[in-house]
Structure 1
Amino acid sequence: MQLANLGSTAAVCRCKEGFFGDGQDCYDIDECLMKDNTNIEKKGKCGRGTFCINLPGSFLCKCLPGFSPILDDKTENGTKSCFDLRKSIN
């Protein structure tokens, strides 16, 4: 939580990124529960073939068993999307 001074008599607390609050307390945002209505295969902030791990103030995406990371789809939060290894074997 960060304290922001609004003058000689007023102050308000602001939460760091990845948290929300009421001006006194901050709570973790669970990015894994967030919905993305643009892609039916997405769950939270992670993409297809992944699972999401909520962390304090952040999240991490990992590939499901049997899936492999799409190398050009990595972010600071891990692999955004993974491909099904069974479909790539011909």
Structure 2
Amino acid sequence: MSAIYGFYVNLDERGDFYADVRAGNGDTVFEIRAGDDGGIELIEDGFMRGKEDLAGLADYLKETGFIEPDAELLGMADFERRLEEEPESEDEAEPGF
């Protein structure tokens, strides 16, 4: 089964933008921040078409090695829903008595 990652927009107002990509364990693997001028480099450089372009962001993250080539990048709601659906691994399961 391929890894999944979630795209979280933490701030998007008045020209300020901050988002991060999280692994299933909650670790942030990549951050996107608007510059002082409000521009977002990944959009300005043509990797993303807009702030919500998950396909463009996923391609960039795969090409640069931030996520695995077969990984799936999901929006926050879909990511959290998928995490809830996945069974716990034996390492994370509580021991039975």
Which TM-score applies when normalising by structure 1? 0.23
Greater relative CO, 1 or 2 (CA 8 Å, sep 6+):
2
- Greater radius of gyration (CA): 1
Bigger strand fraction: 1
Which TM-score applies when normalising by structure 2? 0.22
